[in-house]
Amino acid sequence: MTTLLGLDLTGRRVLVVGAGRVGTRRARRFVEDGALVLLVDPSPSDDARRMAGHGDVELRERGVLEGDLDGAWLVLAATGDVALDAQVAAWAEARRTWCVNASDGRDGSARVAAASTHGDLTLGVVSTGDPDPRRAASVRDALAALVGAGEVDLRRRRPGRGRVVLVGSGPGDPGLVPVAGLEALAAADVVVTDRLGATGLLDRLPDDVEVVNVGKSPTNHPVPQAEINRILVDRALEGLTVVRFKGGDPYVFGRGGEEVHACRRAGIEVTVVPGITSAFSVPALAGIPVTQRGVATSVHVTSGHVGADSAALAALAAGATVVFLMAVSALGDICAAALGVGVDPDLPVAVVEQGSTARQRVTRATVATAAEVAAREGVRPPAIVVMGRSPRRASSTTTSARPPSPPPTPERGGLGGPARVS
């Protein structure tokens, strides 16, 4: 019978005997887990020598001695010599120190699980009979794929400390949401969501997940930022896991910094899952590279709410690509200011509406004509404005270079039916 335990190796010594391919790979994993690793091998690999240049790894280029086990909490015998690995395992047994024998998994007192980490949850698979690492890894990968796709309910069953996770959901296509973002949604008791982003994923949440819609439109801000901050803090103080589901990236004109500061002031644990910002992804999906060798070697991102600020105008004048977010209503003023400082009237402008979705549309013009063309074509937010030499002149509309991914339906075994919206 094998009992599975999770070992906290942070700051604890782990002895790895054998600094070849297997030992070095396992040593790297122990370092990632926070262990202080001692590598012992008379002929270590080049990779092991490179690892030893870091403070968490000590390398002794000689044969192993019994005294090397002093102070070790865990031992890995991976020399490839069956007799030597068995000797190391016997030393560990005599000292009552857990030992993994890589030459014969049945001989050691411990086995290394094929593991994957998902937020604060680690999934591990161990062979309990004859060791079969490839089978364990195959099962691990299959289970990890389900968890990573958000197909498993990861909510806590036992009360714990509340926390907040800021998730950037990208420009709108659910297929562009980071895996860590899907896992955060699967663990959420409460989701505080924007109007934009991959909000279709919220239909997969169980009925008892509270969804609070705080989305803003250009002319309507029903929930002030201070109230959003209060909601995050109050729900977390109740011991709940709160996901702040934001379009794009939380730290790119998303006020994520303000929300993080509010949580930390209240003593709330808060983490951030970066998202794909629409400033770069939406132009890319429309076939517009914001930088290109020989065309534009830098890019400037700014908010349309501040209009054509001096930094943006200077970037345009210097030949950079400038991406304006939330700039539809200010487009006329931005173009006028650009012309006023001598920007070429024929400089291309592209406006991408509803980027990454089935309703994506690209309207192309120049600095001199953009305001008129946008009004004639009925351009509406959400939209990204790209100015510079990168946007090539083409037809007035185009489709996404990457078809939007439909969210998995509840019938496919997702996280449940429609969520309750408050």
Catalytic residue from among 68, 194, 246, 249: 194
Say whether 216 is catalytic: yes
- Burial class of 306 by CB neighbour count within 10 A (0 to 12, 13 to 18, 19+): middle
**3-class secondary-structure state, position 110:** coil
Other Cβ atoms within 10 Å of 411 Cβ, number: 7
- Burial class of 42 by CB neighbour count within 10 A (0 to 12, 13 to 18, 19+): exposed
DSSP percent split of the chain into helix, strand, coil, nearest 5: 30, 20, 45
Measured distance CA(398)–CA(386) in Å, rounded:
15
* Beta carbons within 8 Å of 335's beta carbon, 6+ residues apart: 349, 367, 368, 370, 371
Catalytic residue from among 81, 216, 309, 333: 216
Do residues 183 and 119 lie in contact, with contact meaning Cβ atoms separated by under 8 Å?
yes
Return the structure tokens found at 390. Answer: 């990168």
Closest by alpha carbon to 274, among 356, 406, 170?
Answer: 170
Structure letter (DSSP) for residue 305: G
Tell me phi and psi for residue 139, to 5 degrees: -65, -45
**Longest alpha-carbon distance in the chain:** 84
Q: Which residues are designated catalytic?
A: 194, 216
